[in-house]
Structure 1
């Protein structure tokens, strides 16, 4: 009786989810080479206006902040927009933007501003400009909601460029062309359920992805059990191991289903867990699940701790933007030029490239883990939990191992202060999602050819299992339809 129900569950659940699994496998292959379109940081850098030769002291600008606001400033940014030098003073609750010249008033973002920004991005006539008050297909992320309304510029060019600009700030938010949109329609959009109707509610989107993964997992698990039952029956009946099916499609589905079953379990399970934490009843987290940048870097430093920022302009005439940052008691300038981004140690007038010392990192970890012992070492090669298939992570880096129940570890880039934080739950999530879904495993990532072969074989094998299951069900429905008509 149990076997009969397993067959039925696999048949009907597989019939429903087969097309989705086929879509996931094929769109996943596309996604490897064509991610969801997004504005490139290098394009943003290249199109930023350069800072002028003449710049005021930051203290003189900070004096114009409302009373009491200067003491609450966390970050300062100096940039150029619409021919004006602007200082952004960011506090916990708001951002104050002031012109470098106290006699100037910040120019508002107008229709002409939008057109001027658009012309800097595409050398083609602007066909039209629409105003968006809600998400469309290419404005998927929640961070865009604060930027509404958004101007969408259509260009009359062969590539079909479309540019999204915040009407509030004039910032470019998204940039697509006809090719990137086409690849997204057959890759990222179906694979990640990137549909505006789902993305309007983040909880609904997460539940949809999780439910799809769970249903797919049920189809695969019941399929493997049914496949093994049929192997056992065949061995009992004929005394040999093999598929009992004579028909080509049934036999192919049976053999490939067992061959790629574990791969499909990995895809389905990791898909269901993509946006979920490892449950606390499986791996308990004693400390913070995530460590924010603010916690690691510590309280912001007073402006007096920084050497004169105008020395950056003298050292790098091509500078586009300077951000006041810090790592504990080390003042830092994060510098953006037209071609690069880097960090400078702002504690001395020489402005050396940032190189955090082990003692500085130890001070940060001591503040986060007051009563726990830890070790700091330097690594010069990638490790299993410090490697990425998509991004070349910086080396050398500091590796911090904390002796606690969470097995906490950090990887800190000494050249920027950026870091990665992991604990037992996050390390498990690396295997549950990134490892199973994208084969983001050091042994494979360090062998790109083998990684490519593995992902292609897995996706095409999974696609064939799904397609053959769908085809068998279609043939079964056709036979039943003929019988009813007869």
Structure 2
């Protein structure tokens, strides 16, 4: 049996150690440079203030064109230097309407894409690079509704690439030269992105899952064999507690020291892929009752000009306005270029945040049969915490305080509700919370005592990553030597056979 364990470990290592070395190296890069994305902060920072002049058609008419009563939100923003409404519907669909002419936007021309880029970076030289469906920096499935994308190269200090939706004319992604350079040896190889955006796309998910699963088995076997071959009190003939020498001894010793973390990282990397949908709830919680009704014409009686005047009179200069309902109340949310928010209920005074009683009433309406437990968080905890902006979900807002509501549905869902905007920030099922442990905690060490005490987190992550890299590289060298020696032996046998024939 022991012989088969060695053989499985050896041949899995020959096949996978180079992949593991690549994962450890690219993982270190990703600690500091994330995959390109346009964060909400960047989006707002590049929007001009909403102007009163020539703005805007009455949103009442837009709501009146919703016979099914599924309109959930109306957002007034700037696209290509002009005000536009973005209408959001219950099924996730959206409609974009020019707020001056009332014309519905269905597609964007190359010239309009350049206008969008000029709004993002005024007075910056730029060059259009045509229409693309997907490239190395646009693999995210969140961009699917925007495809195809116009690509525009800015000639600014950061040599930024902009990607513009052909459906709306919004800038949906930017990628600086520094991000593109580091991502070739970071996220691009860590997630095996060479398999995406081409004919190999259907095989990408399963390839990553099964490679990770096989690497986990290989690492577990290595830990087991490493312990079995270690002599604590006695020594081998070579005078060491390890029977190996040279590269083999390095592989054995570093594996004993950092092997448990290597197993943890490979396994948690597997969990990041949500293999076989093990973390997905059967049916997500229905939160439509949170709004307390549809966004009908009678709820949009106050004109955008009046709304803008009220916010500006309070010293706030919005770049976006959003109309939605919460607990049956009409809510208007304004955001400025810095990301700060102000709210107004039912056309009332401008305020910084919403009343707690209103949000609790809206949250209770989601599950009216039983009053769900609610908790106001004034500090971050194990399940609600911020990350650095470049990390995978670090761009998502994590304001404090926040309302956490626990529902008795099948997935035991938690909602986190933002009192500054009335928005449901996240919906976390029990599976998602399990994923938080098996992926985020084990893979990225998302633990507040470490995240809040950098550079301790950096030192530990870098140190153990180097250990994992050494295990992988020594395994790669040993595997290469094994293959080379077997090839040499086969050549000798062929030469001897040929000599005997003659």
Answer whether TM exceeds 0.5 for this pair: yes
| Structural mapping, 1:426-465, within 5 Å | 426-465=432-471
Q: Secondary structure at the match of 2:74?
A: strand
Q: Does 1:77 align with 2:75?
A: yes
Quickly say closer, same or farther: Cα 1:386–1:242, change in 2 above 3 A.
Answer: farther
- Superposed, which structure 2 residues align to 1:20-419 within 5 Å? 20-54=19-53, 60-63=58-61, 69=67, 71-82=69-80, 84-92=82-90, 95-101=94-100, 109-122=108-121, 123-132=123-132, 134-155=133-154, 159-195=158-194, 197=196, 204-231=203-230, 243-276=241-274, 288=283, 290-291=284-285, 294=288, 296-305=290-299, 308=302, 309-314=304-309, 315-316=311-312, 318-357=317-356, 359-390=357-388, 391=394, 393-402=398-407, 408-417=413-422, 418-419=424-425
2:350 partner SS: coil
Question: How many angstroms apart in 2 are the aligned matches of 1:125 and 1:238?
Answer: 70
Q: Deviations over 1:423-459 (max 9, x none)?
A: 4332221111111110012232232222112211221
Offset, 1:395: 1.4
Q: Secondary structure at the match of 1:74?
A: strand
Aligned residues: 477
Q: Report the Cα offset of residue 366 of structure 1.
A: 2.9
Instruction: Structure 2: state its 5+ residue gaps.
Output: 389-393, 493-502
The alpha carbon displacement at 1:128 in A equals: 4.4
Q: TM-score, normalised by structure 1?
A: 0.85
CA distance in 2, matches of 1:416, 1:480: 66
Cα distance in 1, alignment partners of residues 474 and 101 from structure 2: 71
Is this contact kept in 2: 1:206–1:275, CA < 8 A?
Answer: yes
8 Å CA contact 2:71–2:295 kept in 1: the answer is: no
Match of 2:351, SS state, is: coil
Contact 2:415 2:425 in 1 (8 A): yes
Change (3 A) 1:273 1:140: same
- Following superposition, the deviation at residue 48 of structure 1 comes to 2.2
How far did 1:12 drift?
0.6
CA positional deviation for 1:470: 0.9
**Structure 1 residues 215 and 65: CA distance shift in structure 2, 3 A:** same
Q: In structure 1, what is the Cα distance between the partners aligned to 2:103 and 2:434?
A: 54
- Deviation string, structure 1 residues 22-63 (Cα, Å, up to 9, x no partner): 1111100100100011224333323324322246686x4533
Q: What is the DSSP-based 3-state SS (H/G/I as helix, E as strand, rest coil) of the residue aligned with 1:186?
A: coil
Structure 2 equivalent of residue 475 of structure 1: 481
Query: Could you tell me how far apart the structure 2 residues matched to 1:113 and 1:39 are?
Result: 20
- SS at the partner of 1:182? helix
How far has the Cα of 1:396 moved from its partner?
Answer: 1.7
Aligned 8 A contact 1:88 1:96 in 2: yes
User: How has the CA–CA distance of structure 1 residues 408 and 77 changed in structure 2, closer, same or farther, with 3 Å as cutoff?
Assistant: closer
| Alpha carbons of structure 1 residues 64 and 250: separation in structure 2 relative to 1, 3 Å | closer
State how far apart, in whole Å, the 2-side matches of 1:89 and 1:410 are: 24
Whether the aligned pair in 2 keeps the contact of 1:51 and 1:320 (CA below 8 Å) is yes
Do the aligned partners of residues 345 and 8 (structure 1) sit closer, same or farther apart at CA in structure 2, a change above 3 Å counting? same
User: RMSD of aligned C-alpha atoms?
Assistant: 3.5
* Distance in 1 of aligned mates of 2:289 and 2:376: 22
Check conservation: 1:61, 1:98, Cα contact below 8 A: no
CA contact (8 A) 1:210 1:274 kept: no
- Report the alpha carbon displacement of residue 239 of structure 1 after superposing the two structures with TM: 12
- Contact 2:63 / 2:71 at 8 angstroms: preserved in 1? no
Confirm or deny: 8 A CA contact 1:412 1:419 kept in the other structure. Answer: yes
Q: Which deviations, in whole Å up to 9, do the C-alpha atoms of 1:140-169 show, x marking residues without a partner?
A: 122433333322223456744322222332
Q: Which moved more, 1:188-197 or 1:74-83?
A: 74-83
